Structure formats: structure tokens, C-alpha cells
Amino acid sequence: MRKLLFGVFCFSLAVTVYYGWLLANAGVTGLRVQYAPAATTITVERGSVAYDEGLRTGQVVDLGRLPNAARYRFHEGIVAGERFAIPVDSRAGIRIVQLIARPAGGKLKMAFASVGYLEWFFYAGLTWLVLFGALLVWRRGDSAEARTLALLLMLLPCFIFLQAENGFYTPWIGVDLAANALGSLTTFSAALLATYAMLFRLPHPSVRRALAALAYASGAAWVVFTLIAMDKAWLGLAPPPQARTALVGIGCLFSLLCAIVTVRQSTGEQRIRIAWVTASVGIIYGTEAVIDLVGMVMPSLHQVGSVVRPIAYFLAPFGLWCSLLNRRVLDIGFALNRAAVFTGVSVVIVGIFVLAEWALSEWFSSAGHATNLAISAVLALALGLSVRAIHTRVDRVLDAVFFRKRHEDEQAIRNLAREAAYITDPQILLSRIVAVLEEHADATSAQVLLDDGAGHYGGVSENDPAIVRLRATQKVLDLHDVQSAIAGEFAYPMLARGRLVGVLVLGPKRSGESYAPDESDAIAQLAHDAGAALDVLATKSGVPDSEITLRMLYDAIEALPSAIRTSLSEAAYEGSEL
């Protein structure tokens, strides 16, 4: 499954990169042709390539003389330098006019001028989402939730970029047709949010199932309408009406409603995880639903949508990254650690200075070489003098915003390690260890196996491979590496005077992620200090570790409801009679 998702990532990234190249190399002719099987009038912009070649608004072109492939290309975009043959109907007969698309200027200037800054925000946001999906596959490929969310994110560029009306084209018409058809199939990515919500087992799933089914039905209808539109564009006819676009909004709406119902039905940590994902992806789905559905009633909203949609796609990744780094909802360990984020922010800051230099150079382009050189020197000096202050502020912001939860959890574990020597009741110490690790290490279980002095550690023989390894190495042990009767993820040695007095065993994280290095160091320190504290308490009181364990067991039985204690007593009595 990981290999398949990796292939999806490579394909999606290739599509994204190629579409970025199309944005930077988009061409213009100034000619607009309506869909028609044969003769149709044209609209020509003054001063364009078409205008320079003698074409004027209101003239008639006979698209019926062009092959289907050429007519289909009128439905797509144009690359700078691409040549087009236009059959113009005149009094003297059909005249073939050759048009060569030209850029608006230099590549960078042309790209921003022709598609606008918001288009690049849109492109950057989608690229960010694809990389986030790949990170999920890499670190949590064994989780069905992570795989579904990763597939949703990685298919978004394919769903958007591969549509013919969005300007995806290649030098080969066959590849264009295949890509546009594939783009229609990726419409089902909108329903993957509903699939993600259905992975959580909650009561009363009938409403969620109905909403998920409606989301997939909308996607299937979109595929049919898109294939019909492609066939009509191939023949030079107008595509189906705007109802086709509304199907996307309907599918996004049903998926979003399914996720919202799931949030309402869930509780605790599960609810937090679903809510953060729904809120982040919901920015995209909600925007698409509003623009596509309301746009049918108010066509003027299309201009507003061209501004709102790029912003939504650019902001959506921020919620996912915050849930990843701050809330630990999608904990993927330290794949994206503090240093990486710090480096990324530094690159952004340097990029801002570069853009500022470019903008000022363009503004003062007529001032001469000396002025531009002075501007560059001043900006470089400002960057050099302020980089230390910028890094300090960035460091504080990263700690406060992105890594606060990690620091708080690690600090709570280390605080208990320092306090262990001052706790005089071993039962209180052991109960606090379990409570702190389950809350701040996100462990599904935590238990302490103490040496009973009779060759056992909490019921496990001292000859158990894991116990032997811990006594020999006195290092943290991954329990998957040995055949042991101890059930858990990691075993931490509790040492005192060079002796293994106990073992701290942690189960897997509730999030499904592995323990981070600094987190594991804090737990190891807690196990070491707690072992030393228990040894001191046993020495002072003269009570062996085995009696401490028996007292804990007795107190646990006393805490049970009376009916359960009665049943246990009766079972023990019957066992003694036998």
C-alpha cells in the first residue's frame, strides 16, 4: 500500500511541477474563439498577436476545417512560442493565419503579470498539501486514517490541474485526453473526507453512511458530465451547462457534513483529532461548496471566488501543520523537527528580502546601474545586521506556537523525575508515574514491574529475554526485538546501585506514532530516578519490593466495587476447596 501511495505522490508532484512550468510559460494570442462545430465569430484584443496579424473582432473563422485535435486545443491553454493555424473566412475565400503565442515579458515578470499573485498562492498551497500527504505516508503508512488523509491531500492537485478548462496541456493531444479523463476520476478525492470520517467506529452510523454515499454519488455524476464535456469539446461544441460545476460543490458539501456529524458524535481525544482535520480540510471544501453552489444563482460571485479560492488553499495547510506540531493530533514524530521549521522560516525571510530587492530594482530600473547597486548593498547590509534579531524572534515564535505542547509534555515528565526523590510513599510514586505517562506521553498503558526478590519482576521471570537484556545492557529496550512475556512497546530499566530494581513498560501511543527521541530520554530519566527513589524507600522502611507490589495489588482490589470483590472472594474460596 505504501508503494502505491508513493506512486500517487510522485505522479501528483510531477503534475504540480509541470503545471507550475505552464504557469511560468503561459502564452497569449489575444484571440478568443467560442465553441462551435464550424463557423463562428472571434474576439480580438487590440495590440495582441492576433491583432498584429490583421484579425479583428467580428470576423468569422471556420473551425470545421480544423482537425478535432486542433479544435480541442482551443479548450485548453497556450504555451509561449506555440504556433496556431486559424482558418479565417473572407470574401476572397478561406485565409490561413498563423499565430505564434508570445509571453508578456520575462518569465518571472510574465508569470506574475499573466496569472496574478493569487494564482501562485493557490499553487504554493497545493504543493504544501502534497508534501504533507507524503510525510503522512512516510511516517504513518500503517494507519488507515493517515493513508486516507494522505490520499485526499495528494489527489487535490490532480483533481484541479488535470482539468482541461484549468489549462493543463501537453505537446501530445492523446496525453491531454488521458490526463483530462483522469482528472475527472480524481473527483472522488472530495469524498475521501467522508471516508476518513467513517473510519472512526461510532454509534449511529446510518446518517454518516448516507452522507458518504451522497458524496460518492456526486463524484460519479461529475465524472459522467466531464466525459460528456470532453466529447463535446473534441467536436468543437459547447460543454454542458454550469450544473456540472455544481456537482463538485454538492460532493464537497456532503463530505464536509459527514465529517461534522462525526465530530459531534465523537468524544475526547478522538473528537479533537477529527475536529482539527475537518477544520483544516473544511476550509477547502467549504470554499468550493459556496463558490460552486452560490455561483449558479449569482454568476458575479465568480470574480470573488477567484480571490477567495487561492487564499483558502494557501491557508488550509496551516491548520494541518498546527495540529501536527502543536496539538500532536497527527503526531508524526520528528520527521519535521524544530530545526527544519526554523530553516524553512529563515528561507522565507531571505526570500522576502530577495523579492524586495527585485521589486525595488524594477521600480528604479530607469535610475541606472549605480542606483540599483546601491539598493542591493543597502538591503544586503540590512539583512546581515538584522539576521540575528530575526532568528531570535523566530526561535521564540516557533517554541510558543508550534512546539509548546511537546515542551509542556516533556517538562511534565522531567518534573516528576526530579520530584521522585521527595515522595515518601512508594504507592503514590508509582501511581503518579502511570498517570503522567498516560497523559503526557500519550501511552495507551504504563506499568511498573518490580523485583520481588524471588526471581520475578511483576510475574515475569528474571530469565525472561527482555529482563536479561535489560540487566545486561541497562539501556532502553524495544520489546519488538526480543521474544518476551512482557507486553508493550518499550521497556525502561529502573536502576539503583547498578541493580535492576524494576522495569517501566509503556504500551504504544494512542496516536499510533513512535516515541520521539527527546521524549524517550525524559522517560528514561524518570525510570532511573524512580528506581533510585524506590530503592531508598525500601532501604529506609526495610520493606522489600515484593511487599510494595503486594500492597499495590491489595489497594487496587479494595478500590473495586463491592460486587466484584465479593465475586473474587467466592472464586478464591471455591479454588481453595478444590
Q: C-alpha dihedral over 484, 489, 493, 494, to 10 degrees?
A: -110
Give 76's DSSP letter. Answer: S
**Strand order from edge to edge, sheet including 60-62:** 31-33, 39-44, 60-62, 83-90, 93-100
The rounded distance, in Å, linking the Cα atoms of 92 and 364 is 51
With both helix axes pointing from N to C terminus, report the angle between 545-558 and 517-541 in degrees, rounded to the nearest 10.
Answer: 100
- Give whole-number Cα distances, 269 to 150, 233, 259, 344, 511, in Å: 21, 50, 16, 30, 9
In 402-547, beta strands by DSSP E: 446-450, 456-457, 460-461, 477-478, 490-496, 499-506
Contacts 24+ apart (CB under 8 A), 550-557: 551/427, 552/427, 552/430, 555/427
Backbone angles phi, psi at 39, to 5 degrees: -75, 140
10-residue mean pLDDT series, the chain (578 residues): 79 81 71 66 78 80 74 66 78 77 51 53 81 78 79 83 71 78 78 85 82 88 80 66 69 87 77 78 82 69 69 79 55 46 59 65 60 66 66 63 74 92 90 91 90 87 92 90 88 91 90 74 92 84 53 55 58 49
Joined together, the cell numbers standing for residue 99 give 499565430
| pLDDT at 422 (0 to 100) | 92
Give 65's DSSP letter. Answer: G
| pLDDT at 328 (0 to 100) | 47
| pLDDT at 431 (0 to 100) | 92
The rounded distance, in Å, linking the Cα atoms of 200 and 130 is 24
Whether the CB-CB separation of 553 and 559 falls below 8 Å is answered with no
102 Cβ contact partners less than 8 Å away, ≥ 6 residues apart? 27, 28, 29, 49, 80, 81
The rounded distance, in Å, linking the Cα atoms of 277 and 193 is 9
Whether the CB-CB separation of 9 and 154 falls below 8 Å is answered with yes
Residue of 368, 334, 373 whose CA lies nearest to 515:
334
The rounded distance, in Å, linking the Cα atoms of 161 and 164 is 8
| pLDDT at 300 (0 to 100) | 63
Whether the CB-CB separation of 458 and 549 falls below 8 Å is answered with yes
| pLDDT at 111 (0 to 100) | 36
Q: Which residue has the cell 520493606?
A: 543
Residue type at 88 in one-letter notation: V
Whether the CB-CB separation of 316 and 281 falls below 8 Å is answered with yes
Q: Give Rg (Cα) of the chain.
A: 33
Domains identified in the chain and CATH numbers = 2-21+118-336 (1.20.1070), 27-102 (2.30.42.10), 339-402 (no CATH), 407-573 (3.30.450.40)
Whether the CB-CB separation of 410 and 517 falls below 8 Å is answered with no
Whether the CB-CB separation of 501 and 518 falls below 8 Å is answered with no
| pLDDT at 523 (0 to 100) | 94
Whether the CB-CB separation of 51 and 44 falls below 8 Å is answered with yes
Residue of 197, 166, 52, 29 whose CA lies nearest to 101:
29
In terms of DSSP bridges, do strands 93-100 and 446-450 run parallel, antiparallel, or are they unpaired?
A: unpaired
| pLDDT at 418 (0 to 100) | 93
Q: Which residue has the cell 512497546?
A: 489
568 Cβ contact partners less than 8 Å away, ≥ 6 residues apart? 557, 560
Residue type at 545 in one-letter notation: D
Residue-by-residue DSSP string for 135-181: HHHHHHTT-HHHHHHHHHHHHHHHHHHTSGGGT---S-HHHHHHHHH
